[in-house]
Amino acid sequence: MRRWVAAAGSAAYFAVAAGAGAVLVPWRVTGWEFGRHGPWWVVAQAAGVVLIGAGVVPVVSVFVQFARAGGTPLPLAPTRRLVVSGFNRYVRNPVYVGSLLIFTGQALLFGSLRLLAYTAVGWAGAAAFVRWYEEPTLTRRFGAEYESYRRAVRAWWPRLRPWRGPCGLGPCRLEALLARGPVG
């Protein structure tokens, strides 16, 4: 897929997914009205804003990484290679983890238990989708490369240090030398 097509596809998917999940549903639940829970609630709201910001960063970053790799996070238009750069080096599901941060932040910002329930249901749906569709599909598509990544990088809890691949940064040195063929 051409990079500009991948970028357009990623942008469209981002707009629809983010528009529905992070804008439309919270608006329907809260009407953008803040709960009135007392003067101490401002601390929870500030934490909510921080969580929203912390969640947006990996989500946007991953969409950019997928477009650069010539695909989208949408399963119908995947990349040709396994994307293990950026936030994917810390956690296997950075879009879902970022979304959970955004939704939890919105629940705190608006003081809404219904948004917190939406977050729990969203996580359960994402976890089931990852377990029963994404992981088997990625295993079939990328084989040992994905299995190595899967063993090293947790699905839902980020690593403290980025994963550098089975051979450090970049391709394995021996594989690179063998790919060049005989010298002389």
CATH of the domain at 52: 1.20.120
- DSSP per residue, 29-49: HHTTPPP---TTHHHHHHHHH
Task: Output the pLDDT for position 35.
Answer: 80
Distances (CA, A) of 181 to 11, 99, 108: 40, 45, 58
Q: Mind listing the pLDDT tens digit for each residue in 49-72?
A: 999 999 999 999 998 998 888 888
Distances (CA, A) of 22 to 54, 106, 135, 144, 183: 14, 9, 25, 35, 55
The vertex-23 CA angle with 71 and 128, nearest 5°, equals 60
Indicate if the pLDDT at residue 125 is higher than 90: yes
Integer Cα distance of 153 and 49 in angstroms: 28
Asked which of 39-43, 73-77, 111-115 is least confident by mean pLDDT, the reply is 73-77
By the 8 A CB rule, do 105 and 50 touch? Answer: yes
DSSP state of 115: H
By the 8 A CB rule, do 77 and 42 touch? Answer: no
Task: Output the pLDDT for position 53.
Answer: 97
What residues make up the domain containing 152?
A: 3-180
pLDDT grade for 134, boundaries at 50, 70 and 90: very high
Task: Output the pLDDT for position 183.
Answer: 46
Q: Of 128, 108, 127, 119, whose CA–CA distance to 25 is shortest?
A: 119
Integer Cα distance of 128 and 84 in angstroms: 22
Task: Output the pLDDT for position 3.
Answer: 73
Residue type, 74: L
pLDDT grade for 168, boundaries at 50, 70 and 90: low
Task: Output the pLDDT for position 174.
Answer: 43
Task: Output the pLDDT for position 176.
Answer: 46
Integer Cα distance of 36 and 127 in angstroms: 33
- Number of structural domains (the chain) is 1
Q: Mind listing the pLDDT tens digit for each residue in 14-46?
A: 788 788 888 888 999 998 888 877 888 899 999
